[in-house]
Chain A
Amino acid sequence: MSTDTINITLKVWRQKNAADKGRFETIPVSGVDSHMSFLEMLDTVNEKLILEGKDPIAFDNDCREGICGTCGCVVDGIPHGPNKAMTLCQLHMRKFDEGDVIAVEPWRSRAFKVLKDLMVDRGAFDRIIQSGGYVSVNTGSAPDANALPIPMAVAEKAMDAAACIGCGACVAACPNASAMLFVSAKVSQLALLPQGRPEAAERALKMVATMDREGFGNCSNHRSCEAACPKEISIVNIARLNREFFKAGVLSEPI
């Protein structure tokens, strides 16, 4: 590992709270070690701001290994930045060049209110899951785990969908701020597995109804969500959600 340092300029979104209008602030950052992660770069900027008596940049993050789904900002117009199939915490400064001006903004969507700077409220995702993203099985009532064989290919497809980390990049990437990729990942995982079949119709209807109520837009097949998804969730899942939703709509009363 060689140590290289670069000088960059951040144009970062600053917003005091949900009621504030917000604006971009320009912060020059010098001597950035190119082996730093993007978030470590923000950490060092914040250290400096604290010592200068200024308000540090608020950004959500936690595991810093791409699995918890907490972090995420739009970097130069791309959710989670330029790395394919990675979260923002996995982005390293070696992706940037000397003199780069980097724009950093929060997820933008009517359903994700900005709380402060780069932090948004993704509670809408939780409420969508609460409306049906589960199998109704109480603790203790499960049969033996091998009582229900599931073909490997089906289990693998369910796992592909289940890999969603709920970060919200799909919504941020979509011109309609649609949550279809997120919803379809959960609907698909559970519709594919026999354990989820009994409630499949009701689940699709309820989750879509909640998604609409929360103010997410509709899907118009831009596929930006799939491109931005750090876990490479496929839009095949959206097709499956549409089938499940259609079947449910034809076969049952709307909710």
Chain B
Amino acid sequence: MQLDGKIPAGPLRDKWDNYRFKAKLVNPANKRKYKLIVVGSGLAGGAAAATLAELGYDVECFCIQDSPRRAHSIAAQGGINAAKNYPNDGDSIWRLFYDTIKGGDFRAREANVYRLAQVSNNIIDQCAAQGVPFAREYGGMLSNRSFGGAQVSRTFYARGQTGQQLLLGAYSALSRQIGAGKVKMHTRRELVDIVLVGDRARGIIARNLVTGEMERFAADAVILATGGYGTVFYLSTNADSCNVGAAFKAYKRGALFANPCFTQIHPTCIPQGGDYQAKLTLMSESLRNDGRIWVPKDPSDTRAPRDIPESDRSYYLEEKYPSFGNLVPRDVASRNAKEQCDAGLGVGPTGYAVYLDFADAIKRDGRDVIARKYGNLFDMYHNISDDDPYETPMMIYPASHYTMGGLWVDYELQTTIPGLFALGEANFSDHGANRLGASALMQGLADGYFVIPYTIGPFLADQGVSEVGVEHQAFADAAAEAAENDRKLLAIEGRRTVRDLHRALGKVMVDEVGMARNEAGLKKAIGAIQALREEFWQNVKVGGEQGNFNLALQKAGRLADYLEFAEVMALDALTRDESCGCHLREEHQTEEHEAQRNDEDFCHVAMWEYTGFGSAPEFHKEPLVFENVELSQRSYK
């Protein structure tokens, strides 16, 4: 397979300008002749659909929720980065670029990340103009804060609801285009297949979630902005409807999947209660600014946390990382929590939790100050756990939160299937092996507002207007295949529910393909996944009927995808025989238990090509070339 990242020529600073100057344009009068399908209405999809419609393209947008305003981008709390340097503290496009590349442990493309940093400033301007109520200073200027251990204050925010406000901004822009008749919106639809004619994407098959019907849509190009695959772990901070389905269907149709083993586990989540649990709730990591993380020194210590004296506590992050302390990056904080719990030092009913203690901060600053900063988070914690964090330490444990891996795309955000593009969390492009806080919102909006509107033009201009409509046999075939798959699932009539089997898959993934991985564990995981997949196809009980609303059937389809995808993830983790960023292979650690990269052999993007159900995918790689930064070892000591 010939892979071309299409990185433009020239110095890093000029690549995006060079690209835009050389890119073929579509004549404004012709734009309306091109039909574009956008799947997903979150920050990336909503922004793309709105912007492409503003440019004059004929857009159809699909979302799985009942309204485009509910995409999971809405749940992001902390903020969005930009290189505005309003605080005058030394930030620049170059520094944001460098921090992002380094944060990703040198496993992302320089050119993509630099472009991301360049357009970051336009995003803030755009959102402010839409009426996004960002936090402001008394003088009326925008407020910034330092986030996730960054040494400059470059994070813009809207209380603890930044994702919500940015999404509602994109939703308002999208709504304006829907109202004007420029975007046709399809809610409660789930992509079940991508239709290829020849080697090119020509449309999609979508399930109408209310009626159960398989619907056909043809277009000149298909844009996937369908988010990540964090729910492969069953319990995650993701919403119920988040799934890998759309990206996985693209993979099955020939798109390469890049770096699937790069998944982010967020350190500050409320631990699991019981088996009934459906999701884990994330609390903003800003809590780590004032909270101190500790466990009892003695595993058999059953005293209430307040009764454990200082001398019997281990503040393990402060001890191991004296300069960053509790503010080490997410992957480091998460991995250390797991290490403590695996060693039997964890607390709470399951032993899989550590304390996050505000007693010192309350003593130092007073309860009012702490309440002003974190009041809503404390209330949320109190409501869920029934413990009052003003009186007793919180208990936290890491949870799956974001996935850096995704469909492989070139500089134009095009997958290896011509005419199929992927944006936001659905692609792999900008975060490398670890995403920095407040960078997900930045990437989603960058792709949607400022990248795809330019980079889709050359493809369309080259191809001309598509003559293929939904009458083409390929659409009938794909719809029939999807319906047949449903029939198969319903006919199994086994004894285990989809939820039950998903929970079992999640356990395998958390245990062996989670925060720390090793060869034996990964091989064991692959066997366990294969066994679960076999059991699923023999023993699942879906219930209900075809051609009607059937949530269990929708979920069965999503789990079927995960039972194949999980194996690719484990295989990728096994093949990447180094540690980098979030991917810790226990065999490769520095003396201080940090990720030990192997730039000689693994400075590349790992990509997987589908070869058939149950057969091992084929490996490809795109070497990563660093011309502008020096590869260094991350250290947070």
Q: Which residues does A use to contact B, with CB under 8 Å?
A: 1, 3, 17, 33, 35-37, 39-41, 43-44, 47, 50-51, 53-56, 58, 60-70, 83, 86, 90, 92, 94, 115-116, 119, 121-123, 125-126, 129-146, 148-152, 155-156, 158-159, 162-163, 165-166, 189-190, 193, 195-196
Residue on B nearest A117 in the bound complex, by CB: B549
A123 CA to B70 CA in the complex, in Å?
Answer: 12
Across the interface, which residues of A come within 8 angstroms of B75, CB to CB?
A: 63, 65, 67-68
Q: Please tell me which one of the listed residues B172, B239, B552 contacts residue A134 in the complex, with CB atoms under 8 A apart.
A: B172
The 3 closest A-B pairs by CB, nearest first: A149-B140, A130-B179, A142-B129
Q: Considering the chains assembled together, what is the distance between the CA atoms of A159 and B168 in angstroms?
A: 12
Number of residues from B at the complex interface, CB < 8 A: 84
Does residue B371 face the partner (Cβ distance < 8 Å to A)? no
Q: Is B551 a contact of A146 with CB atoms below 8 Å?
A: no
Chain B residues in the interface with A (C-beta under 8 A): 47, 50-51, 54, 65-70, 72, 74-75, 84, 86, 122, 124-142, 158-159, 161, 164-165, 168, 171-173, 175-176, 178-179, 185, 187, 210, 239-241, 273-274, 276-279, 281-282, 348-349, 380, 383-387, 449-450, 453, 495, 497, 499-500, 541-544, 549, 551-552
Q: Which residue of A lies closest to B552 (CB)?
A: A50
A39 and B239: CB pair below 8 A? no
Q: Once the chains bind, are B137 and A64 in contact (CB under 8 Å)? A: no
Q: What residues on A are CB-neighbors of B47 within 8 Å?
A: 139
Say whether B129 contacts A137, CB under 8 Å.
yes
Q: A158 — which chain B residues lie within 8 A by C-beta?
A: 131, 133
User: Chain A: interface secondary structure?
Assistant: loop
Q: Which of A51, A122, A155 contacts B67 (CB 8 A)?
A: A122
Quick one: closest B residue to A141, CB to CB? Answer: B129
Closest to B500 in A: A47
Nearest-CB distance from A138 to chain B (Å)? 5
Whether the pair B130, A135 counts as a contact (CB closer than 8 A) is: yes
The answer to whether A67 touches B172, judged by C-beta atoms less than 8 angstroms apart, is no
Contact sample, A vs B, 26 pairs, CB 8 Å cutoff:
A1-B385, A47-B499, A47-B500, A50-B543, A50-B552, A54-B543, A65-B281, A65-B380, A68-B72, A90-B380, A116-B549, A126-B69, A126-B175, A129-B171, A130-B176, A139-B126, A139-B453, A145-B128, A146-B142, A149-B141, A159-B158, A162-B133, A162-B168, A166-B69, A189-B131, A196-B131
Select which of A36, A135, A142, A162 is within 8 A of B125 by beta carbon: A142
User: Which of B175, B239, B241, B282 touches A129 (beta carbons < 8 Å)?
Assistant: B175
Q: How close is B16's CB to chain A, nearest CB, in angstroms?
A: 14
Minimum CB–CB distance for B566 against chain A, Å? 22
Chain A residues near B383: list those with CB within 8 A. 83, 86, 90, 92
Cα separation A65 to B500 with both chains bound (whole Å): 22
Contacts of A165 in B (CB 8 A): 164
Count chain B CB atoms within 10 A of each CB in A69, A139, A158 and give the residue with the most: A139
**Alpha-carbon separation in the docked complex, A137 to B127 (Å):** 10
Known: A92-B384, A115-B549. A159 touches B159 (CB 8 A): yes
B277 touches A62 (CB 8 A): no
Of chain B, the residue at the smallest CB distance from A66 is B380
Q: How far is the CB of B375 from chain A (nearest CB, A)?
A: 12
Complex contact B67–A125 (CB within 8 A): yes
Is A159 a contact of B133 with CB atoms below 8 Å? yes
Measured CA separation A137–B128 after assembly (Å)? 10
A142 partner residues in chain B, CB cutoff 8 A:
122, 125-126, 128-129
What's the Cα separation between A145 and B497 when bound, in Å? Answer: 51
Other-chain residue from B173, B240, B276, B543 in contact with A33 (beta carbon distance below 8 A):
B276
Q: Determine the residue in chain B with the shortest Cβ distance to A120.
A: B66
Given the complex, which residues of A lie within 8 Å of B543, measured CB to CB? 50, 53-56
With a 10 A CB-CB cut-off, give which of A61, A67, A132, A141 has the most chain B CB atoms.
A67
7 new A-B contacts, CB < 8 A, other than A43-B278, A50-B497, A63-B72, are A1-B385, A43-B499, A115-B210, A138-B51, A139-B453, A163-B161, A190-B131
